[in-house]
Structure 1
């Protein structure tokens, strides 16, 4: 094993030996290209992210595509975020999307949860309808991770927190990967948090959530904790730039406690530092 791969393996920690446990959904969303790979893990050494390193302030970015000013994202692509008519507009410090929020009818209606279920179609925000009473009893059943669902209900496999399935008559949990009613979540932070994502922020992952819906911005009070592993590498592609701090792989920030949560932030897979947010236990 060469020194570079060996160093990154140690820095990311031996806990990754059975697969990459570092959340990288933000890189997947930006359609960044993985660079290299660590022996014995599924983790790349770093990512190449043109939307970050070659960001054009007069353009908008979403799910790997670049949008010109006034260009609109197809509505079906933003429907899962309860949004429509998302178009790129000029803003400071750089262009950002403006969207129309969609208020689903069920947001304003009472619902008989004991007698009815709401039904959904893939990649939707609002329900497509409801089924009640005797008609509900006629619906096909699905079984996933030991739980029972009815046709039209959303299901979330425990083995993949980024996957959503819609129960249907021929559902088979052993064939999820080929089921057209199962789909990977697309994170919407480029629609709503472009300023944070593309201006030096770090994605914050919380518990079993798939996407980082919070971004931590650099603070003057940030304190760098250098990795205890000896680092003789001075390669900018293996560093995270966070505000005024240049972090090597394995470096971290002093943990921050705020509003009952603890934030632990580290440079694990450049170019972005990333954070994990955990709820503090009550003693």
Structure 2
């Protein structure tokens, strides 16, 4: 084999190695380690913007489409509803029943849904509650003991009707059913399309007012649904931070918006300005929405705060 042929082979091997390393890097990109309220961005269809195309984490999101929304219409999964329209099946989760677009708080259109109260009871001895990913409430099933199916998932055995989680897919709902062979697909599992948390469905006013979703201390803003919102009030002010965090973005337009307050990267909001902000740390990490999360109980006592005005 001549030297030229050997050189060609070596180049091809190097190119394959670089390609393999690049592919591996893409595969190990773990979005759960990226900062910011990523689940909220996903729910309201904001577009990720990266400093470099190959980066794993976005430096900001484009949510400009939210400014174009009419207060007289409802929006879910890019579908637009007029006042009086009923929610389409394709946009509904199992417990979104009887939902109609109506004029809501302070004139902002939102969906009003039926109150669903699933019966709470212990199953009859020998029976179990069978859950389904496409049904809101479970039903009682009383099979022969030997007839109850079993599912083995990652070394754990589940019985028919039991819920189980799929590693790396936190929004997938899975239940053990007869015929399960280890494939986490329908009819055993389902993944809600779009509004997993129902953000558009129930939080149109908060979206319009540029409120920030709030998460419990042990929640993940990257994957979990917020438990509440913090909206601007007259006592809110910015606590400016050092320039170090801002230099990491190199984009003067990368600011967070909280009500009518503009925050630079690294800026925080003061706490305990009303009940929604007691022991809640809000910081501008990945614009345009501040990341707000409850502090641990050993760091902050929610019972200690100023007296707030009541309306």
CA contact (8 A) 1:117 1:153 kept: no
Match in the other structure for 2:205: 195
Structure number with the bigger relative contact order (C-alpha 8 A, sep ≥ 6) is: 2
List aligned pairs for 1:83-162, cutoff 5 A: 83-91=96-104, 92-104=106-118, 106-107=119-120, 110-112=121-123, 115-127=126-138, 129-132=139-142, 135-144=144-153, 147-157=156-166, 159-162=168-171
Q: Tell me which moved more, 250-259 or 147-156.
A: 250-259
- Larger relative strand fraction: 1
Change (3 A) 1:50 1:76: same
Q: Any unmatched runs of 5+ in structure 1?
A: 1-15
List aligned pairs for 1:1-283, cutoff 5 A: 19-36=33-50, 42-75=56-89, 77-80=91-94, 82-91=95-104, 92-104=106-118, 106-107=119-120, 110-112=121-123, 115-127=126-138, 129-132=139-142, 135-144=144-153, 147-157=156-166, 159-171=168-180, 175-176=183-184, 178=185, 181-185=188-192, 186-206=196-216, 207-208=218-219, 210-230=224-244, 231=246, 235-236=252-253, 238-256=254-272, 262-281=279-298
| TM-align CA RMSD | 3.3
Distance of 2:289 and 2:32 partners within structure 1: 23
Match in the other structure for 1:10: none
Structure 2 residue matching 1:156: 3-state secondary structure? strand
Distance of 2:60 and 2:187 partners within structure 1: 32
Change (3 A) 1:253 1:24: same
Distance of 1:114 and 1:266 partners within structure 2: 51
Report the CA distance between 1:22 and its aligned residue: 3.6
Structure 2 residue matching 1:220: 3-state secondary structure? coil
| Cα displacement string for residues 31-77 of structure 1 (whole angstroms, at most 9, x for unaligned residues) | 22222256885322222224422221121111332222222212464
Distance of 2:202 and 2:32 partners within structure 1: 34
Change (3 A) 1:36 1:259: closer
Q: TM-score, normalised by structure 1?
A: 0.76
Q: TM-score, normalised by structure 2?
A: 0.70
Change (3 A) 1:74 1:136: farther
CA contact (8 A) 1:75 1:85 kept: no
> Computing the radius of gyration over CA atoms, which structure comes out larger, 1 or 2?
2
Q: Any unmatched runs of 5+ in structure 2?
A: 1-29, 302-311
Report the CA distance between 1:247 and its aligned residue: 0.8
